Amino acid sequence: MALPKEPDSNDAVAEVFVTAFLALPEKAREKIIEILVQDEDLRDQVEGALLWEERENGEYRPFSEYLKENA
């Protein structure tokens, strides 16, 4: 049986960022997403992570479809 992973400082920073992001008004979240997806490298990383997550769960849908549903 594997021991639970100890959270590191990156986990804590990510948790704080996501908590703050989710607390923002919807228009502010939309603007942040718009800015983030303009960065091609970051966009590719996010797309890859979404695809990996969906495929691991046995699901798949195109990234463009995901964006339409979550925009």
Task: Give the domain extent around 41.
Answer: 26-70
Domain presence at residue 45: yes
Alpha-carbon distance of 21 to 18, in angstroms, equals 5
Tens digit of pLDDT at every position of the chain (71 positions): 555 667 688 888 999 999 999 999 999 999 998 998 899 898 888 888 888 877 776 666 677 777 788 76
Q: How many domains does the chain have?
A: 1
Residue 61 is assigned to a structural domain of this protein: yes
Residue 8 lies in a domain: no
Residue with tokens 């718009």: 34
Q: Which residues, other chains included, contact 36 with Cβ-Cβ below 8 Å and sequence gap of 6+? A: 42, 43, 46
Predicted pLDDT at 57: 67
Query: What per-residue confidence (pLDDT) applies to 44?
Result: 87
What pLDDT does 2 receive?
56
Structure tokens at 18: 């996501």
